[in-house]
Amino acid sequence: MFSVGKQLPYPVVGDAGIDKQFLAAPIKSAVDKFQLLPEFLKVRGLVKQHLDSFNYFVKTEIKKIVRANDRIVASKHPNIYLRFKDVRIGEPSIMVDGSPEKITPQTCRLSDLTSLINKQGYSLDCAVKLYSVATWKYAAPILVNVEYIQGSPGQMTRVEKNDVVIGRMPIMLRSCCCVLYGKDEAELAKLGECPLDPGGYFVIKGTEKVLLIQEQLSKNRIIIDTDKKGNITASVTSSTEAIKSKTVVVMENEKIWLLLNQFPKKVPIMVVMKAMGMESDQEVVQMVGRDPRYSSLLLPSIEECAKSGVYTKEQALEYLESKVKKSMFITDSSEKEGRAYSVLRDVFLANVPVHQNNFRPKCIYVAVMMRRMMDAILNKDTMDDKDLFKTMISEAKMWIDKFLEKNNKTSRFDFSHVIPKPLLAVQWSACDNIEYISRDTITNGLERTLSSGNFDIKRFKMHRKGMTQVLTRLSFIGTMGHMTRVSPQFEKSRKVSGPRALQPSQWGMLCPCDTPEGEGCGLVKNLALMTHVTTDEEEGPLISLCYYLGVEDLELLSGEELHTPFSFLVIFNGLILGKHRRPQRFATSMRKLRRAGKIGEFVSIYVNEKQRCIYLASDGGRVCRPLVIADKGISRVKEHHMKELTDGVRTFDDFLRDGLIEYLDVNEENNALIALYEGDATAETTHIEIEPFTILGCAMGKQAMGNIAYNQLCRKDTLLYLLVYPQRPLLTTRTIELVGYDKLGAGQNATVAVMSYSGYDIEDAIVMNKSSLDRGFGRCIVMKKKAVTIQKYDNNTSDRILRPDRTADNAGHMQILDEDGLAAPGEIIRPNDIYINKQSPINTRTQIIGSAANLPDSAYRPSREKFSGPEGESCVVDRVILCSDKNNMMCINFLFRHTRRPELGDKFSSRHGQKGVCGTIVQQEDFPFSERGICPDLIMNPHGFPSRMTVGKMIELLGGKAGVSCGRFHYGSAFGERSGHADKVETISETLVKHGFSYSGKDFIYSGPLGVLY
Amino acid sequence: MSSDEDESMSEQEEQTKSGKEDNGSVLDYIMSLESVPSKLPPHLELLKTRVLCKIDAPQHTDTIQYSGAYAALGVDNSIRLDNFRQNFKVQVNRLTEDDIEFDMIGIDPALANAFRRILIAEVPTMAIERIYMANNTSVIQDEVLSHRLGLIPIGADPRLFEYPENAGNEKNEKNTIVFKLHVRCERQQPRITVKSNELKWLPNGSELPSEDIKPNSSSKPKTFTSFSCSQDSLPEFSGNPIAPRNLDIILAKLGPGQEIELEAHAVKGIGRTHAKWSPVATAWYRMLPEVVLLKEVEDELAEELKNKCPVGVFDIEDIGKGRKRATVARPRSCTLCRECIRGGKEWEDRVALRRVKDHFIFTVESTGALPPEVLFTEAVKILEEKCERVITELS
C-alpha cells in the first residue's frame, strides 16, 4: 500500500536505480592506521627499550662475556684451571637458611628486609617468616656450568659441576627472567602487582631503581669537528670488548697530527702512516685522493715527516718509541715488539682490527679520515654537526653488562689470587677450588652500582654518576615519563645552547615538548611514543652478505682504486668493508632483504651522497621508529590489512614481516621522503607516518595527584599522594588511552568559570567554591612512612618495646598504643602522640654481667617516638609493618595517612601548565550561577590567557563542556583533526549550540551576591 | 520634589509596615494631576525594566532603586508596598516530589536572590556529623567513608529537631538521630556493594559503650547518647521511621572477609557550615526571557531564523500569498545561546534578546529532606525572622 500525498523524505534511488548519494560521496582514500599503535605498544611497549636491552643481556651478552674469559688458570700451576662452560640466570629467589625460596617483586618492595607482619592484617596476607639473608632485592642467581681440575699436582682429576651459583643478578621487572613475564592480569593481581605497571626497573633494598637511558656520541664513527682553536679535527671514539680509546687527527699549522692519550705530545700523522708500513708517500696521496687540492693540503705533512728524517717503517717506529708514554710495568710482549708498535696495533683506532700484523685497513681508515678533514676544509658543508642527533646514539644498552663484565673479571682475579695461597699452605690437597669463587663480589658489586648509580669501570676509565634513579611514583604518568627519559652526556651546568636546541633529526624519535625547565633544558629528553632503541645484532653474516652483494674487499683495492668516481665506500658499523660500484642498487637490494625479513629489521642502510659512502649499521643503541612503506607514494598498508588487524588475524609483526612497515633509524631517514598523512603523499614519497601524534611523547601531569598503581594501597612508599576521587578527563587524547592514563587517572574534571572575581584571583590565583570542596572536590590522601629500628648492641643488649603504662602522667599521649606498645592501625594520631613505646639500654658499650634479657628496668631509658606533624592536622595510623632489615634487626614501619581538603595556598593546575594557587575559598551562594543553575567549582582569572596563548586550553574548555552536555568523551589528540582522532572546534561548537549553549562557550551568568546578570 | 524625597525615605523605613494613609492620599492626588507625567518615556522604561542581551555582553543589568532617579522627569521611582502587593505574583509551573519551578513576578532581584541564598545556605536539615567507627577492614579509608556518609540526605524533618548547641552539646532524642551500619562480606563470597539502605535507624540512641565496660557493673553501660525516651515513641516518628532519603547511594565496596561496623550520628545544621546540610541540590532563578523581532523577518530569512535557534523559540506563520513571517513562539525556552543574533550586524538589528528584570523563573531542587515548596516557605520565614531582628535591633 502506498499512502497518497506523502512524499518520501528524500529521493534515495533515482530512476535508473543508481544510488546518487553513494556516487557523490568522496572516495575514502586514507587508511586509518591508528589501530597499529596499540598493536605496536602491545609488542614493544613504552619501556621496551629497557626490557629488550636486559633480555638481550641475560640471553646473549652474558654468555658472550663469560665465553670471552672462560678459562682461569692458576698462575703458579698452569695445569690447574677452571673453565666456565655455560652461564644462565635462574629464577628470582632468596636464600632462606641455605635453601632458595622464590620471591615476587611485591614482597621485595614491601620489605627492606624480612619478616612481614601487617598489623592491620587485611591488605596483606603475609606469613610470618624470618629470613636470615642479608640483602633483600629482586634478584636471581647467576648459574654456571664449570669444569675444573681437582686434586694435588700429582694426581689431578677433571671435575664437572653444573649450576654453580657465582652471584646474584638483580632482575628487571617484566623481563624474561622475571616471575611476572607473560602473566595475565589476574595472575599479576594475585602476585600483588599492578597490571598497568610497565616494569623495566629493578627493586633494590625495597626501592625501585631505573637505569636511565644514556645518550652518548656514536662510537666507531668518524666525526669531523673544529676544536677550540678552530682547527679541523677528525675524531673516532673506538670501543671494542677489549678496549676503549679516542683517536683524534687534527690539522694544525697546515700539518696533520695525531693525538692519542698514549702519546703525550702530538705526533705527525705521516710518521704514523710510515710506522704502519705505508712507506711510500705516493700511495698515501693516492689513498687520500688524486685531486691536486688534497695533495697540496697533504704536502706540508709529508715535508714535516721528511724533515724529521723518517723514511722507513723502522725509523718511524723508533721515532714513535721516543714519543710514547712510558708505562709503569712493562710486560714481556711489549718489550719484544716495541711499545709504540703495540700502541698502534691495540689502542690507535682500536675498532679497526689488525689481523696478522696487517695494518692496511688501519692505513685506509686514516686516509679516509684525512680525506674527510680535507673535504671539510675545502667545503664547510661537509662538517659534521656534533650536536646533530644523527651522530648520537641513545645508549639504552645496559651499562650493567659492561659492569658485569668487569665484575666477572674481578671474580676471576679473586679466584686466581685466592687459589695460590691455599695451594702454598695446604699443598693443593683435596681442596675443592669451587669453594673459592667469591659470590659476594658480583652480588654486592651489582647491588651497590644499581643502588648508588655510580658506574666506575677502571679498565675503561669510566666514571659515571647518577646512572640510576629512584623511580618517581608521584603519578602513574610520571612513572611512565621517567622510564622514557634520556639523560645527557654533557654536564648540565655548561652554559651552551648548541646541544640544547631541538634537532631536526629528533623528529619522531624524541618528544619535542617534553624537556625540563632550567639547567637540564634541552639536554634531558624523552623518547617519543613509537621510538625503539636497538640492541646489537650479529655482524658476521651481514658482512659476508655485503661481499656477496658485490662489495669489493678492501684488501684487493689499491690506494688509487679507493676513490674512483661513481664507486662508494661501504662502511659497516664504522668499519670500512670495501667499495661498491653501484651504490643505489646495493642499498635497494639490502633494503629488499630487510623487508623480506632475511636480515634483522633494525639494520639500517644509508647512502650518503656527499661523503660517497654507504653506511650500514646493526649495532645497539640506535633509535629508530616504524613507518609505513609507500611505493611511488601509494601506501602499502591497505584497508583490508587494517581489517585483518582489528579482527585479530594480523599482528604488528606480520606487518613487518610482510614488508608493509619498516623501522628507519635517524640516518636512514635522510634517504626517505616521509609524508605526514597519506593524502600528502606524492610520487617521490617513500614512507608515510603511522600516526602524526606519535612524534610526541607522553608528558602530561607528571606531578599531578591521582592514582599511581592498582596496588597503591599495598605499597610502602615514603611519601605518597593519592586523590580520593580521581576522574577520567572529559577531553581525552589517544595517547591517554594508549598509555592507560584513563585507567589510572590523575586529576578531576572541574566546572570552571573564566572571569574576574573578588580580587583574590590576581597573579593566577584561583577562587574555589566551598561547597565543591565540602562535596569532595580536590580531596587527597597523603601517606608518610616512619621507620623505627629495634637496635641490637654489641654487648648483647637491645632495645625493647614496652606495654604502655595507662596510669602514667603521659598516658594521654599513649592512648593510641596497643598492648604490644605499638600504635594501633586506624587510630587518630595527633602531634606529640607516642606511636612506639620503645626503651633503650643505658649501657650499650661495656659487657654486662648475666643474661641480657634479665636487665632491670633501671638499666633502660625511654626512647619513645613522638609523632610530629603540624598542629591541627589529624593523621591516622594507616598500617604498621614489621620486618627485619639487613643487619637482622627488627624494623617497624608506620604509615601515617592524612586526608586533606584543598586549602588556601594549595597549587592547582590545568593540563596546559596554567597553574595557580588557591587565593580564596568562597561560599556557594556567593558564587555566580548560570541560567541553568550551573555553579562553577572554581574561578580562573582571564588575564592568564592572552600572554600564555594556551589555545589548547580554550579547546579543552569547549570540548569538556560539549562532552558533559552530550555525554560522550571528546578527543583532543595533537594533529588529530585530519585523521579523525580529535574533534574539530567547529563540531564541538555545533554540539554546544545543539544543547543550547553559545557556540563560543560563553555563558551569561548571574552574580551570586547581587542576583543580577553580570 | 523635596516632598517626594521625604516620602521615599519614610517609605523605605516603613516598607514592612503598612504605609501611612494620609501621605498616600496626598501622593495619589499629585500623581493624578495632569501636568505630572506618571510614566517614563519608552526608551528609559526599557532600560529600567529589561536587560538587553547583546552578542558579547548583557547591557543595563542593574536595577534602579533610588526613588529620585527619574525625579527630573517627574517620575517617582520609589517602591510602594501597595503597588508591590498589587503586582507581586507567584505562579507555579511545575511541582514534583523533588523540584519545583515557579514564576515570581514583580520583585526586585535583590529579594529574589535573598531567597536563593537562604535556600542554599541557611535552611537547616539533618546530616550525619559524627561517625563512631567500630571496625573497618574495607579498602575505603575511615575519613573517606565518613565523608561519604555525611553527604547522604536524611529523610527527617529538621523542624522537629533542635540545634545541638542549644542542649549544651548533650545528645538527646531532640537533637540527634543515630544510625547503625554493620555489613560484612563473608569469605568465599562475591564482593558486595554497601548502599545507603544498610543504614539502620536506632530510635533508642547509641548502642556503643563510650567507656570501657567494667565486667561486674550491673548498670547499663554508658553510651554516646543520652536519650530519655525512644524516638519512635514520639508521635512524629511513630508512623514513619527515619531513613536515608535515597536508598541506592553507594557507600563502599567490600571484598571477601571485609567488614564495616559503625554508628553515625546526624544533627541539625545549615549549609553555610558544610554543604551536606544544604537542603537543596541547587536553587536558582533566571529572568524571564523576552525575544523581540525588531523588523519583520520574512520568507527565507524567517526559515533561516527558525532553523538557527536550537531550542525552537521562533515559529513561522503564513501571511498569505505564499509569504511567511517569523514569529516568537516560545520565548521562555530561550537559553541565551545567541545563535539568532550571530552572523553579523543585520541579525543583531533584527532580533533583540532581553530579560525582564522583575520576573524570575525560580527553580528549587530539593535533596529530599523537605518537599521543595516547603523549603521555599521555610526560606521566606527565615527572611522574615531576619527582618524582624533588624527592626528590633533598630527600635
CATH superfamily of B30-123+279-395: RNA polymerase, RBP11-like subunit (3.30.1360.10)
Question: What pLDDT does residue B8 have?
Answer: 43
Considering the domain delimited by A780-900, tell me its CATH architecture.
Beta Barrel (2.40)
Question: pLDDT (tens digit, 9 = 90+) per residue, B43-100?
Answer: 888 998 899 999 888 999 888 888 888 888 878 888 888 888 998 999 999 999 999 9
Was domain A533-695 assigned CATH 2.40.50.100?
A: no
CB contact under 8 A, A932 and B335: yes
- Inform me whether the C-beta atom of residue B117 falls under 8 Å from chain A C-beta atoms: yes
Residue A458: count other Cβ atoms within 10 Å of its Cβ.
8
Spatial CA neighbour of B355 closest among A996, A1012, A1008, A1003? A1012
Question: What pLDDT does residue A413 have?
Answer: 39
Considering the domain delimited by A222-350, tell me its CATH architecture.
Alpha-Beta Complex (3.90)
3 state DSSP class of A1011: coil
pLDDT band per the 50, 70, 90 thresholds, residue A111? low
Buried/exposed code over B220-259 (b: 16+ C-beta within 10 A; e: otherwise): eeebbbebeeebbeeeebeeeebbbbeeebebbebeeebb
CA pair distance A57, A172, nearest whole angstrom: 11
Q: Which of residues 245-274 of B touch A (CB under 8 A)?
A: 257-258, 271-272, 274
Residue A335 has pLDDT above 60, yes or no: no
ipTM, 2 dp:
0.88
- Inform me whether the C-beta atom of residue A1006 falls under 8 Å from chain B C-beta atoms: yes
Q: Which residue in chain A is spatially nearest to B334 when comparing CA positions?
A: A996
E runs forming strands in A302-356:
none
Residue B192 has pLDDT above 90, yes or no: yes
Question: pLDDT (tens digit, 9 = 90+) per residue, A364-393?
Answer: 888 888 888 888 888 766 666 555 544 445
pLDDT band per the 50, 70, 90 thresholds, residue A419? very low
More confident site: A1008 or A465? A1008
* Bridge partner list, A675: A688
3 state DSSP class of A767: strand
Question: What pLDDT does residue A946 have?
Answer: 92
CA dihedral A681, A682, A687, A691 (to 10 degrees): -10
Most confident range, picked from A64-68, B27-31, B128-132:
B128-132
As a whole number, mean pLDDT of residues A800-818 equals 79
pLDDT band per the 50, 70, 90 thresholds, residue A24? low
Element holding A921 (H helix, E strand): strand A915-922
Strands A213-217 and A485-487: parallel
Residue A495 has pLDDT above 90, yes or no: no
**Residues of chain B with C-beta less than 8 angstroms from the C-beta of A779:** 144, 147
C-alpha distances in Å from residue A3, one per residue of A6, A7, A8, A11: 6, 9, 10, 16
What is the location of CATH 3.30.1360.10 in chain B?
A: 30-123+279-395
Q: Which residues contact B151 (CB under 8 A, 6 or more apart)?
A: A775, A776, B127, B275, B276
**Residues of chain A with C-beta less than 8 angstroms from the C-beta of B310:** 993-996
More confident site: B293 or B28? B293
pLDDT band per the 50, 70, 90 thresholds, residue A989? very high
Question: pLDDT (tens digit, 9 = 90+) per residue, A630-644?
Answer: 888 888 888 888 888
| Cα maximum dimension of chain B | 102
Question: pLDDT (tens digit, 9 = 90+) per residue, A853-890?
Answer: 677 777 888 888 888 877 777 889 888 888 766 666 77
The mean pLDDT of chain B is 85
First-residue to last-residue Cα distance in chain A: 60
First-residue to last-residue Cα distance in chain B: 29
Q: Which of A1006, A1007, A1010, A1014 would best serve as a mutation to test chain B binding (most B beta carbons within 10 A)?
A: A1006
Residue in B151, B336, B365 nearest the CB of A1004? B336
Distance (Å) from the C-alpha of residue B88 to the closest C-alpha of chain A?
A: 18
Question: What pLDDT does residue B6 have?
Answer: 44
Distance (Å) from the C-alpha of residue B29 to the closest C-alpha of chain A?
A: 35
Question: What pLDDT does residue B27 have?
Answer: 67
CB contact under 8 A, B284 and A933: yes
Q: Half-sphere exposure of residue A796, counting CA atoms within 13 Å on the CB side?
A: 9
Spatial CA neighbour of A989 closest among A943, A945, A954, A1014? A954
Query: 3.40.50.1820, 2.40.270.10, 2.60.40.10, 3.40.50.2300: which CATH number matches A749-775+904-1006?
Result: 2.40.270.10
pLDDT band per the 50, 70, 90 thresholds, residue A18? low
Q: Which three cell numbers stand for residue B140?
A: 575505603
Question: What pLDDT does residue A421 have?
Answer: 41
Percentage above 90 pLDDT, chain A: 14
pLDDT band per the 50, 70, 90 thresholds, residue B258? very high
**Residues of chain B with C-beta less than 8 angstroms from the C-beta of A118:** none
Distance (Å) from the C-alpha of residue B334 to the closest C-alpha of chain A?
A: 8
Residue B278 has pLDDT above 70, yes or no: yes
CB contact under 8 A, B339 and A999: yes
Q: Which of residues 293-352 of B touch A (CB under 8 A)?
A: 310-311, 335-339, 342
Question: What pLDDT does residue B5 have?
Answer: 42
More confident site: B384 or A82? B384
Q: What are phi and psi of A586, to 5 degrees?
A: -60, -45
More confident site: A995 or A96? A995
**Residues of chain A with C-beta less than 8 angstroms from the C-beta of B287:** 1013
Angle between helix axes A281-288 and A292-307 (nearest 10 degrees) is 150
Distance (Å) from the C-alpha of residue B372 to the closest C-alpha of chain A?
A: 16
- Inform me whether the C-beta atom of residue A932 falls under 8 Å from chain B C-beta atoms: yes
Residue A282 has pLDDT above 50, yes or no: yes
Question: pLDDT (tens digit, 9 = 90+) per residue, B12-21?
Answer: 444 444 444 5
Distance (Å) from the C-alpha of residue A122 to the closest C-alpha of chain B?
A: 6
What is the location of CATH 2.170.120.12 in chain B?
A: 125-278
Question: What pLDDT does residue A979 have?
Answer: 79
CB contact under 8 A, A899 and B141: yes
CB contact under 8 A, B61 and A1014: yes
Q: What residue ranges do the domains of chain A occupy?
A: 222-350, 533-695, 749-775+904-1006, 780-900
CA pair distance B30, B78, nearest whole angstrom: 15
Question: What pLDDT does residue A218 have?
Answer: 73
Which residue type, as a one-letter code, is found at position A3?
Answer: S
- The CATH number of B125-278 is 2.170.120.12
Question: What pLDDT does residue B283 have?
Answer: 93
Question: What pLDDT does residue A318 have?
Answer: 82
Q: Which of residues 760-779 of A touch B (CB under 8 A)?
A: 770-772, 774-776, 779
**Residues of chain A with C-beta less than 8 angstroms from the C-beta of B336:** 931, 998, 1003-1004
Q: Which of residues 824-863 of A touch B (CB under 8 A)?
A: 826
Residue in B121, B287, B363 nearest the CB of A925? B121
Question: pLDDT (tens digit, 9 = 90+) per residue, A151-190?
Answer: 655 666 777 777 777 777 888 888 888 888 888 888 888 8
Spatial CA neighbour of A701 closest among A728, A674, A724? A728
More confident site: B110 or A535? B110
CA pair distance A622, A528, nearest whole angstrom: 14
As a whole number, mean pLDDT of residues A67-92 equals 72
Residue A597 has pLDDT above 60, yes or no: yes
Question: What pLDDT does residue B222 have?
Answer: 76
Distance (Å) from the C-alpha of residue A119 to the closest C-alpha of chain B?
A: 12
Question: What pLDDT does residue B17 have?
Answer: 43
CA pair distance A242, A73, nearest whole angstrom: 19
CB contact under 8 A, A998 and B338: yes
**Residues of chain A with C-beta less than 8 angstroms from the C-beta of B141:** 781, 876, 878, 897, 899
Residue in A121, A775, A996 nearest the CB of B337? A996
Q: Which residue in chain A is spatially nearest to B57 when comparing CA positions?
A: A1004
Question: pLDDT (tens digit, 9 = 90+) per residue, A680-734?
Answer: 888 888 998 888 888 887 766 677 888 888 888 888 888 889 999 999 889 988 8
Residue A127 has pLDDT above 60, yes or no: no
More confident site: A17 or B78? B78
pLDDT band per the 50, 70, 90 thresholds, residue B37? low
- Inform me whether the C-beta atom of residue B54 falls under 8 Å from chain A C-beta atoms: no
CB-count exposure of residue A755 (10 Å: 0-12, 13-18, 19+): middle
Question: What pLDDT does residue B101 have?
Answer: 94
Q: Which of residues 709-728 of A touch B (CB under 8 A)?
A: 713, 724
Question: pLDDT (tens digit, 9 = 90+) per residue, A888-926?
Answer: 677 888 889 999 899 999 999 888 888 899 999 999 999
CA–CA–CA angle A457, A461, A462 (5° rounding): 60
| Number of CB pairs, chain A paired with chain B, less than 8 A apart | 117
Spatial CA neighbour of B356 closest among B119, B70, B115, B89? B89
Residue A27 has pLDDT above 70, yes or no: no
Q: What are phi and psi of B107, to 5 degrees?
A: -140, 150
Q: Which residue in chain B is spatially nearest to A900 when comparing CA positions?
A: B143
- Inform me whether the C-beta atom of residue B284 falls under 8 Å from chain A C-beta atoms: yes
The mean pLDDT of chain A is 78
Distance (Å) from the C-alpha of residue B320 to the closest C-alpha of chain A?
A: 23
More confident site: A973 or B144? B144
The H-assigned helical ranges of A596-661 are: 639-646, 652-657
Residue in A774, A931, A999 nearest the CB of B335? A931
Percentage above 70 pLDDT, chain A: 81
